[in-house]
Amino acid sequence: MSDFKIVGTYRVRNEERFIEKSLKSIIDICSEIVILDDNSTDKTIEICSSFDKVVDIQKQSDLPLDEVRDRNLLLQMALKRKSDFILSIDGDEIFASNSADILFEELDILYPKNNVFEFQFLTLWDSPSQIRFDGIFGNYWQKRLFRTKNQPSDLKFNNTANFGNLHCGSIPKDTVGFDDQIRSNVKIFHLASIDQKLRQQKYDYYTKIDANSNLNDGYKHMISGEGSFSGPNGIELKKIDKELRIQL
């Protein structure tokens, strides 16, 4: 265990299928975890509450969609914990089993002066033993971790031009070091595309609330090999090395 205090943050809604495995995957990384629940109607809150490291759960209901509002609330929840780092995770994401050792070495030894870290996402597709790798799926990274020291006192997420302030990112764009990020060797499995039903649900959700989005080309890549975010040959899949596979 590292001497660093890392606070994990989740913004969740009806994540009972994967949230337990997600939490277990960061239990050796995070000292504390804070959660903003957006009116879950399943067992998400019950599962989260069973983890000792989950120190704060705030619930909200009957609010219009506003990702920036929610991200800023979650950011303040995390900042109150006085941590060295803040890590953003979704309820359908699972860190690879060797992540803690890799990350602690990067934070403590390899990059002790860097402030922002991004991770590669591996999209499971139809099986926990294979990923999709065409188009955007083959090289998809997100900034998810930042050092809290020497950050602006008014650090916050800013409004976007998208409906409901969608796609505002997982860390604020005015974070010190935002444009000088380190690419971590930690891998994160994304499970939102693990089966056809989930893919269709996600596609239906985004095309309903963000029907006129040109930024994401109609979200066609979520359910097919079409669109500008897919590869030229359509959907391409490959097997994961056995030592990296996760059990679902």
Q: Going by C-beta distance under 8 Å and a sequence separation of 6 or more, which residues neighbour residue 243?
A: none
Give me 215's structure tokens. 């930024």
Question: Nearest 5°: phi and psi at 64?
Answer: -65, 155
pLDDT at 77 over 60: yes
Kindly report the pTM of this predicted structure: 0.96
Q: What is the pLDDT of residues 199-234, one digit of tens each?
A: 999 999 999 988 877 778 899 999 999 999 999 999
Give me 217's structure tokens. 């080309």
Q: What is the pLDDT of residues 108-156, one digit of tens each?
A: 999 999 999 999 999 999 999 999 999 999 999 999 999 999 999 999 9
Predicted confidence at residue 211, as pLDDT, reads 81
Q: What is the pLDDT of residues 172-204, one digit of tens each?
A: 999 999 999 999 999 999 999 999 999 999 999
pLDDT at 1 over 60: no
Residue among 121, 157, 29, 35 at smallest CA distance from 84 = 29
Give me 114's structure tokens. 């860097």
